[in-house]
Amino acid sequence: MQTCLLLSHQTASLDMAGINNYAQDLDDADLQRGTHRELIGGLWDEIGDLQYHFLRDQGLKPSMALLDVGCGCLRGGLHFVRYLQPGRYVGADINASLLRAGMLELQHAGLQDRGATLIQTAAFDFRSLGRTFDMAIAVSVFTHLFFNHIGRCLQGIKQVLSDSGVFYATFFTAPSPLHLEPISHQPGGIVTAYDKDPFHCHPQELAQLAAWAGLEAELIGDWAHPRAQQMIAFRHA
């Protein structure tokens, strides 16, 4: 089974202007230099391994179908493609050049025949895949999204999450809803804001968005992320 890259032609899209440099279109020279690994925040080995072992601890089995939201160039995806049965991994991202980098990473790792599917989506519309997922994960995605974008993501996930499925997402936490002051998170020293990337929010705010999308939220909290991102889980209500 060969890796499949699906490029989207959707008319609906998110305005990512000003969201760091994530929308940067990398060329072939950038990919050969490994620039893509830094564009997604570095810590390639550490965070890739961390999310893999987290989902294993949460019950991810090789036979399960996994949706990796904001998969980028497969920092975690390489681990999942290697672990899951062929054809069980789907990675989705807004940046097509990062998905091309992901395909390159799969080739370098000898995983190009594991049947991974990589899809470009600008609006978290996963219905075109025509399948459901037992687990989904979004690492360092909500930290760069406005609330309306997070709501769109949760709505999109609800449409493809199996009845017993779980969606795990990381975020920078705030001490209260509508926390307008900047926060320096330790470890890592990342400074977040309520209305500027990178963003923080309170779990209650995410739980309210989830309820509107027909999901329920469960705060997991600390999961040993090196930059102090917290974890939250979403299930069908």
Q: Specify if 129 maps to a domain.
A: no
pLDDT digits 0-9 by tens, 57-112: 999 999 999 999 999 989 999 999 999 999 999 999 998 889 999 999 999 999 99
Q: Which tokens go with 130?
A: 């025509």
Instruction: Look up residue 171 and give its DSSP letter.
Output: E
Question: Do 151 and 224 fall into the same domain?
Answer: yes
Q: Which tokens go with 228?
A: 């102090």
The enclosing domain of 95 has a CATH number of 3.40.50.150
Burial class (CB within 10 angstroms; exposed 0-12, middle 13-18, buried 19+) of 133: buried
Question: Which position has the higher pLDDT, 133 or 34?
Answer: 133
Hey, is 169 helix, strand or coil?
strand
Hey, is 173 helix, strand or coil?
strand
Question: Do 90 and 4 fall into the same domain?
Answer: yes
Range of the domain at 201: 140-237
Say what the pLDDT of residue 139 is. 96
| pTM exceeds 0.85, yes or no | yes
pLDDT digits 0-9 by tens, 127-158: 989 999 999 999 999 999 999 999 999 999 99
Question: Do 165 and 219 fall into the same domain?
Answer: yes
Q: Specify if 29 maps to a domain.
A: yes
Q: What is the gyration radius of the CA atoms in the chain, in angstroms?
A: 17
Give the C-alpha separation, 109 to 195, whole Å.
Answer: 39
Question: Do 101 and 145 fall into the same domain?
Answer: no
Domain count, the chain: 2
Question: Do 111 and 199 fall into the same domain?
Answer: no
- Of 92, 124, 156, the domain-final residue: 124
Using alpha carbons, select from 41, 6, 8, 7 the residue that is nearest to residue 22: 41
Question: Do 102 and 209 fall into the same domain?
Answer: no
pLDDT over 90, % of the chain:
76
